[in-house]
Structure 1
């Protein structure tokens, strides 16, 4: 199962559409907030499931979503309530508490992929407003396969 992961698009959901046009097929889309409306807009123009949560810049939408995709439990949240800009410990413990294998988050606009074999923490960065020192935003690819989980951060160069 191929999943594309976005976060912190801040109203520029068309960038997600451009990524999808280049990527081709995906089985699902995850959007980790800021702006939840971008996930809604995207869900109206593509034919795969789109799961989104609200971030600290959103007024409406779910705070968190616990999902099971391809038999893998994961938690989708923005990260601002767990100190994502200052460390990953709270996110890690939240993942353990929820019994998930993957925590997908955003908020910091900085890509993260850390896996200790118990909880994978995955932040795709920001397509619209990167904070990596690069002018290019980023998104994530997440593969859930029989032989395991793979993640990749992709720098978006239009």
Structure 2
């Protein structure tokens, strides 16, 4: 699904630098998306968060992503997240599919993004579920990354080690 076809003035902001930036810029130009896609390069953290807070949706189309801290930052800013369901994308585990965002196969990515861009009620509902989150659910409503859940086991293993010093 072509998002630009449905929303001609849609805007995407790509923040950061990396080995794919030049290729992505050329791709945007070749697909006649130069006016729709803005490449900012590296930005100070405060500016990144300000851009998130001014956005409607956070999109992480990475097939391969480590922990995905940026997803947590987007959710804390109240943004629903659209990301890929691929084996190497660990960020997919941070999004409770259908509640705080959407985790989809590549061929459904455009449709999922469109549903959030045009569906204001759905977008706001998902955004409210993520805003200021202190933990991320595991799909059954159980926090997986909350401080209590992470700190207790960590302390259990590090306390014996600290006495050795």
Q: TM-score, normalised by structure 2?
A: 0.30
The structure richer in strand per residue is 1
Structure number with greater Rg is: 2
Q: TM-score, normalised by structure 1?
A: 0.31
The structure richer in helix per residue is 2
